[in-house]
Amino acid sequence: MTFFTIVVRGLIRRPVRTALTLVGISIGIAAVVALVGIASGYEKSIDKQLDVIGVDIVVSNMSGGFLPKVFDESLQARIAKLPGVAETTSVLMEMESIEDAPMMMVSGREWGGFTWGKLNLMTGRMPRDGAEHAVILGRMAAEVLNKKVGDTVQIEAEELPVVGIVDGRSVVENGAIMLSLKVLQDVTGNEGKANFVDVRVTPNSTREDVRRLCERIKGIFPEGRALVAGEVVSNSQGFRIARAMSWSTSLLAIIVGVLGVMNTMLMTVFERTHEIGILLAVGWTRRRIVYMVLCESALLGLLGGLVGVALGALGVQILEHTTGIRGLLEPNLSPKLLLTSVTIAVVVGVISGMYPAWRGSRLTPSFALNG
């Protein structure tokens, strides 16, 4: 009988108990994959949106939450005068409950600004001008709302006709309702207000030039923030809270898994007292007993990790296509996240097996055989 055979036999001796332990580990790892994957995907989606539009600096009054406070749109003109600025455009972004969709992004964009330039028209037309009370839908938003050109969408108390459907080349753009800034200001009662100013810098600007420009913008807008596009989400207080909550929830699930594995391994050691005594009597060292128990717990962790990764990935895919959430999420199930999750499971197994392994190694052959 090989060492590996002994390890495997120790786990399949009580298949129901082993299976329940695997379920506990799998739930914890599935939580890591799902929650962290969604948080990471949100960050990646925003970064991709800004990259597609061609934004270099985002100016906002992001004092808390996922969306910033509104400010006077005259700030845009002051920023546009700064050296190193090529283009600016004001944006008013809201998260609204739209008809049957519990939450959808509504993006009011300054008419003629560069944020309109990257939208590929699929059907219909673009608004005629900045005063036309009409909307265009990202292709995913059109699917979620079940709308086509000629239908209407209710935003606040106003019914607005859908004049076009576009491909925005990012999940954020494709899941949004887009309209003129002036129209959204009228509809929401935010006349003369915006909550973002998107900035493009002059060609050939260095990273240091961009950071100096951010400092100049902060000088004229001290209550706000000017961030390089790639740092917007990571500096969001709301996102940091969401990321911390995702890891905290995952940690609680993992702790439950640790206790489950520890209980299983302790029971295994107690039930195999006689077997351990025989192994010690035929020349096994205490170190090898420790190694055997740790291998069993590590194998439990590995199997639980693999199952948990599969469950987490499946759960995220189901959630991504759920009505009401579809179009808002693009989870980032990267190989790094999946490998990290399995590694966490194996480490959890090893840590959980340390005390049972120590207890097993303390047995004496005479006591074990008599027991």
Nearest to 354 by CA among 271, 281, 295: 295
Q: How far is CA 141 from CA 171, 177, 300, 325, 349, in A?
A: 10, 7, 43, 10, 44
Crossing angle of helices 15-31 and 3-12, in 10° steps, is 90
d(CA 371, CA 367): 6
Tell me how far the alpha carbon of residue 65 is from its chain's centroid.
16
Quickly tell me which residue has 């940690």 as its tokens: 251
Crossing angle of helices 286-320 and 15-31, in 10° steps, is 50
196 φ, ψ to 5°?
-145, 145
Q: Which residues, in sequence order, are bridge partners of residue 166?
A: 121, 138
Tokens of 59: 């100016």
Q: How far is CA 76 from CA 49, 242, 287, in A?
A: 21, 30, 70
Quickly tell me which residue has 């120790």 as its tokens: 10
Nearest to 144 by CA among 318, 316, 315, 322: 322
> One digit per residue, pLDDT tens: the chain, 371 residues?
577 777 777 777 778 888 888 888 888 888 888 888 877 777 777 777 777 788 899 999 865 555 788 999 999 999 999 999 999 999 999 888 888 777 888 999 999 898 898 889 999 999 999 999 999 999 989 988 889 999 999 998 899 999 999 998 887 888 899 999 999 999 999 999 999 999 999 998 898 999 999 999 999 999 888 888 877 666 666 667 767 777 777 788 788 778 888 888 888 777 777 777 777 777 788 888 888 888 888 988 899 999 999 999 898 888 777 665 555 566 778 888 899 999 988 998 888 888 888 877 777 666 555 65
